Chains A and B, each alone.
Chain A
Amino acid sequence: MDELFVKAYVDESEKEHIARPNLTALQDGWLRLKKNKAAVVCLFTLIAIGLLAILAPEFSRYSYKETNYDIIYQIPSMEHFFGTDQFGRDLWVRTWMGTRISLLIAFVAALLDLTLGVTYGAVSALAGGKVDAVMQRIIEVLVGIPHLIIVILLMMVMPAGIWTIVVALSITGWVNMARLVRGSILKLKNQEFVLAARVLGTSTAGIIWKHLIPNTVGVIVINAMFTIPSAIFTEAFLSFIGIGMQEPKASLGVLINNGYQVLRNFPHVLIFPAIVIVLIMVCFSILGDGLRDALDPRMRK
C-alpha cells in the first residue's frame, strides 16, 4: 500500500497562487458579455438601429415631410424601401426619423435616471432620518399621480411635441431609480467595508464614488435598461393616441397610428415601424440583463 502513494511535493510559494488570469474589470466584463450571445446580438442590433436613425434620413433623396400625391400607398420597392404613406411620403425616411425621436427619449430617460434618480436616492439613503422621510413622501406623491394625467395637464400649458414628453418624463421618470438606489445604498452603508473606509478617513464623497455607487451599478444598469423601453413606449403610446408628436413630424407612435388606420389594405405602413419599436424595446431589455451579469465580478464562473 505504501508504495502506491508518494508524498506530493508542495511549493510553499504556490500555496497562495490563484490560477485564473489577471484581467481588468472592463476586459472581464466584455469577456462575459461576449459569452451571452443574445446580449451581443442585441447590442449590435441597437448599434445598427442607431446608425440607421442617424444616417438614413441624411443620405436619402426624400425628406420626411415632402408629399407627393402621385405615389401614395406604394408598397416597398427599390425606390422606397418601406413604401410610402397616404401623402406619398417616403416611409424609410419617416421610420428612421421616428426612431431618432424614440432614441432621443431613451437618452433623456437614461440621463434623468442616472443623474436625478441616482443622486436623489443616494442623498436620501445617506442623509437618513427626517430628510429621508420627507424625500420619500415626495416620491410617493409623484408615484401616486398617473403619468397620463401629468402629460394631459402639461398639454394645457405647453404645445404638444417632444419637449412636453421630455418634461413629463423628468417629473416622474426617475422615481423608480431613486427608490432602488436608496434601497441598495441603505443596505450597503453599514457594510463593514464602508465602515473600514470611514475608519481609514475616506471622505464622504470618496465613500459614495468608490464604495457605494460601484456596488449599485448592477441595479442602476438594469433599471436604466428597463426605464428606456418604458419611456419609448410612453412616447409611442402618447403619439398613437394623438397627444404626443404632431404631424408632419414623425415618431414611431404617429407612424403606427397611421398604419393602423389602413392595416387591411396597406399593412406595410404599420409593419415596419412596429418591427423597429419592438426591436428597440426587446434589445434594450435583453442587453440590460446581459450587462447586469457581465458587470458583476462575482457572477463569473
Chain B
Amino acid sequence: MKSAENKPLLEVKNLKKYFQVGKNQILKAVDDVSLDIYKGETLGLVGESGCGKSTFGRTVIQLYEPTDGRIVYDGREINGSLPSAERHGFTRKMQMIFQDPYACLNPRMKVIDIVAEGIDAHGILSGEERTKKVLELLETVGLSEEHANRFPHEFSGGQRQRVGIARALAVNPEFVICDEPISALDVSIQAQVINLLKELQEKRGLTYLFIAHDLSMVKHISDRIGVMYLGAMVELADSESLFEAPLHPYTQALLSAIPIPDPDVEKSRSRIMLEGSLPNPVNLKEGCRFASRCPYAEQLCKEKTPEMKEVRPGHFAACHKAM
C-alpha cells in the first residue's frame, strides 16, 4: 500500500515527551522518536507496557504538549503555536480510538449523543440530519437504530468499542490513532473489531497508527511496524521484513515470544529469554537503553546511544551491532 514517491501524511521528527516525576527526576516517556506515516497505510507500534507507545500517540494528537520535536501533518506543523481556530479544525482530521471500552464512553450520555459529540463540537449538523448521520454511523459499525438511545453500560465490551469507533468516524477523519483498541477485548471480539477497522480503511481510505502489544494482531493489520523500548524507537520496518529478519536483539526476543497455534511446533519453539527486568525509566544514563539486558552488549553499547540507521532498504534499526 505504501509507495516511495508518496508524500508522508504525518511526519514526526525527534519527538520528545518528558514528565517531571519528582525533584530532579525526569521520566523520558518518549525520547527522540522520528517516523513518517504515509497516506492509506497502517503503521503498527509495538512494545511492552510502559514503553511510551501510548504517550507517543497522545502527544501526536496533541493531548500532551511535546517537550521537543516537530509534528508535521500534511505539510503543516501542528504542534506549538497553532492558532486555536486551526487547532479546532485539525481535530476533524485526526481522531483516536481508545484502549478501555469501559472508560472511553461517558456513562451519563446516551449513545446517540456520544457518537454525535464531534458533530456537535464542530457544529456540522443539527436536528434531523444529526440523528440520521448518527444512525448511519451506528450501522457502519454494525449497531442499529435501537441502540441509539441506550446508555453505554447496557452494551458489551465489543459493542462499546464499536461505539467508540463510530464516534471517531463522525467527523470524517483522515488519520486515526488506535490506542490498543483490542487489548481489552475478548479474543473472539478482537477479530470482529480488527476486521471492522480494516474494512473502514478500505472504504474511507483511512490512515492508521495502530498501537498494540499483541504481535500477531499487529502483523495482521500493519503495513509497517515500529518497535519501541523504554521510550525510544529501536526498529522500524515493513511488517514482513521485520517478522522475517528482525535486526534488533530486542525485536528478536519479542518475536520469539509469540506463541505458535500448533502444539507440536510450539513444543520445540525456542524462546530468547531476556535477563533481568526493565530498567527504571527515570533518569536514564547515556548508552543503549537495551544494553543492560542485551545478550550481545559490548562496552560501546553502554557508552554511546545508537542512532536509527537504515540497515536494509526501508528497514531501520537502532543498534550498534546491526548490519
- Mark A residues whose CB is within 8 Å of B: 13, 16-18, 20, 22, 25, 191-193, 195-203, 206, 210-211, 214-215, 217, 297-298
| B contact set with A: CB distance below 8 Å | 58, 61, 63, 88, 91-92, 94-96, 98-100, 103-109, 117-118, 120-122, 142-144, 146-147, 149-151, 153-155, 159, 164, 167, 170-171
Contact B96 A210 (CB under 8 A): no
* Cβ–Cβ contact A16 & B143, under 8 A: yes
B122 near A298 (CB under 8 angstroms)? no
Q: How far is the CB of B90 from chain A (nearest CB, A)?
A: 8
Tell me whether chain B's interface is mostly helix, strand or loop, or mixed.
loop
The listed residue (A18, A196, A298) touching B98 by CB distance below 8 A is A196
A192 with B99, Cβ < 8 A, contacts A18-B146, A20-B154 known: yes
Q: Which listed residue (B103, B106, B151, B155) contacts A210, Cβ 8 A? A: B106
Closest to A13 in B: B144
Q: Roughly how many angstroms separate A109 CA and B190 CA in the complex, as a whole number?
A: 51
Is A200's CB under 8 angstroms from B167's CB?
Answer: yes
| A214, B118: Cβ atoms closer than 8 Å | no
B121, A206: Cβ atoms closer than 8 Å: yes
Interface pair B150/A192, CB less than 8 Å apart: no
On chain A, the residues within 8 Å of B149 by CB distance are 22
Tell me if A200 and B121 are in contact (CB < 8 A).
yes
Q: How far is the CB of B143 from chain A (nearest CB, A)?
A: 6
Complex CA distance for A20 and B159, rounded to whole angstroms: 16
Task: From known contacts A18-B150, A192-B98, infer whether A215 and B107 are also in contact, taking CB-CB under 8 Å.
Answer: yes
Let me know if B108 and A199 touch, CB within 8 A: no
A residues near B155, Cβ cutoff 8 Å? 18
For the complex of A and B, list the 3 residue pairs with the smallest distance between their C-beta atoms, beginning with the closest: A201-B91, A192-B104, A214-B108
**Inter-subunit contact A196/B104 (CB<8 Å):** yes
Chain A residue, CB-CB nearest to B58: A195
With A16-B147, A20-B154, A22-B150 in contact, is A297–B107 under 8 Å at CB?
Answer: yes
A16-B160 Cα distance, complex, nearest whole Å = 12
Report whether B61 and A199 are in contact in the complex, using a CB–CB cutoff of 8 Å: yes
In the complex, which residues of chain B have a beta carbon less than 8 angstroms from the beta carbon of A200? Answer: 91, 95, 117-118, 121, 167, 170-171
Given contacts A22-B149, A210-B109, 20 further A-B contacts (CB under 8 A): A16-B144, A20-B154, A191-B103, A192-B103, A195-B63, A196-B98, A199-B94, A200-B118, A200-B121, A200-B170, A201-B91, A201-B118, A201-B171, A202-B117, A206-B120, A215-B107, A215-B108, A297-B107, A298-B107, A298-B153
Q: Shortest Cβ distance from B32 into chain A, in angstroms? A: 25
User: How far, in angstroms, from A192 to B161 measured CA to CA in the complex?
Assistant: 12
- Chain A residues contacting B118 (CB-CB under 8 Å) are 200-201
| A–B complex contacts, Cβ < 8 Å, 26 sampled | A16-B143, A16-B147, A16-B159, A18-B150, A20-B154, A25-B108, A192-B98, A192-B103, A193-B105, A195-B96, A196-B96, A197-B106, A199-B61, A199-B91, A199-B96, A200-B91, A200-B117, A200-B167, A201-B171, A202-B120, A202-B121, A210-B117, A215-B107, A297-B107, A297-B151, A298-B107
Interface pair B151/A17, CB less than 8 Å apart: no
Q: Quick one: closest B residue to A299, CB to CB?
A: B153
